[in-house]
Amino acid sequence: MFEKILKEKHLKITPQRLAILKEIQKFGHISIDEIYENIKESNPSMSLATIYKNLSSMQEAKIVDEVKFPNHKQRYELTKNPHIHLVCEKCGKIMDMEIDASVENLKAMCAKTSSYDIKEASIAMIGICPQCQAVV
């Protein structure tokens, strides 16, 4: 329920925000221009500036997150529990994968070796998805 989330963060509930969040949810990982193009159909007056402003305020409020890694354009996703991104080099698809103990081990190992106080891990695995492997 996006209304509830926005209210908790003291952001006003506007049709624009709801539309943006719905779009992000629908695609999982989506770029700014995809949001814009998709929303324009149902909501032709929606302005790009509004999308930019809302993405930054909602990012600040930890409702949405940036997704970026080498060689890919920036996308957005709804904030969720920490997870790994699986990225297909062929079709560009991005999947989420739940984190298990091996990530905690890795964080602990890094913290120990480096003396960094590690808050979070940003992990992407880049490869070929099962569907694209099938296509020869």
Q: Can you give the binding site for a copy of itself, defined by CB under 8 A?
A: 65-71, 84, 86, 88-89, 95, 97, 100, 102-103, 105-107, 109-111, 113-130, 133
CB of 70 to DNA, least distance (A): 13
| 78 interacts with, out of a copy of itself, DNA, none, CB within 5 to 8 A per kind | none
CB 72 to DNA: min, Å: 13
CA distance 22 to 2: 8
Beta-bridged to residue 64, according to DSSP, are 78
Tell me whether residue 13 or residue 109 sits nearer to a copy of itself (CB atom). 109
Tell me if 56 contacts DNA by CB under 7 A: yes
Q: Are 128 and 89 in contact (CB under 8 A)?
A: yes
In terms of Cβ atoms closer than 10 Å to its own Cβ (0-12, 13-18, 19+), residue 11 is middle
Tokens representing 47 are 């302005």
Q: Do residues 99 and 83 touch, judged by C-beta distance below 8 A?
A: yes
Residues that bind DNA (CB under 7 A): 6-7, 11-17, 32-33, 43, 45-50, 52-54, 56-57, 74
